[in-house]
Amino acid sequence: MAPIAVGDAIPDGTLAYFDDQDQLQKVSIHSLAAGKKVVLFAVPGAFTPTCSLKHVPGFIEKEEELKSKGVDEILCISVNDPFVMKAWAKTYPETKNVKFLADGSATYTHALGLELDLSEKGLGVRSRRFALLVDDLKVKIANIESGGEFTVSGAEDILKAL
């Protein structure tokens, strides 16, 4: 399957998260993104070095600036279970706007065509690192990394394009 690209509509899919009352919730991507401007970014794994020290902190640091430029939602997706995503989100108490969403079986990642097989490293199928700017379900920007790189999918890269 070809990776999602500029001009494509994002597929719908169901992801999981824990709400403020610590209840497990399932949510459709379309319910979060329809009629809104959304940044959808993904990392290969929670608690991994580049993801934890650079990618996520960049979006947290820039969340107010992104909001000021019309971004309604900032969604972080990882191929991890919702319990891991909840624990990872708690390591960023300063965030107000980044939602941490679990794609436990990589189903949504596969629907985007952005899976990355890291089986040789003992990690199984994960997501490629990417950042999409989506406006009313249509991809406006698709910054997709090669391999384990982190060169085009940061918050700064999205801000430059807004």
Candidate list 10, 15, 38, 51, residue with the active-site label: 51
Q: By the 8 A CB rule, do 131 and 109 touch? A: no
Is 76 labeled as catalytic in the residue annotation?
A: no
Q: Find tokens 């990417």 and name the residue.
A: 130
- Residue ranges with strand state E in 44-129: 73-78, 98-102, 115-117, 125-127
Q: Of 27, 34, 16, 15, which Cα lies nearest the Cα of 134?
A: 34
Q: Hey, which residues are catalytic here? A: 51
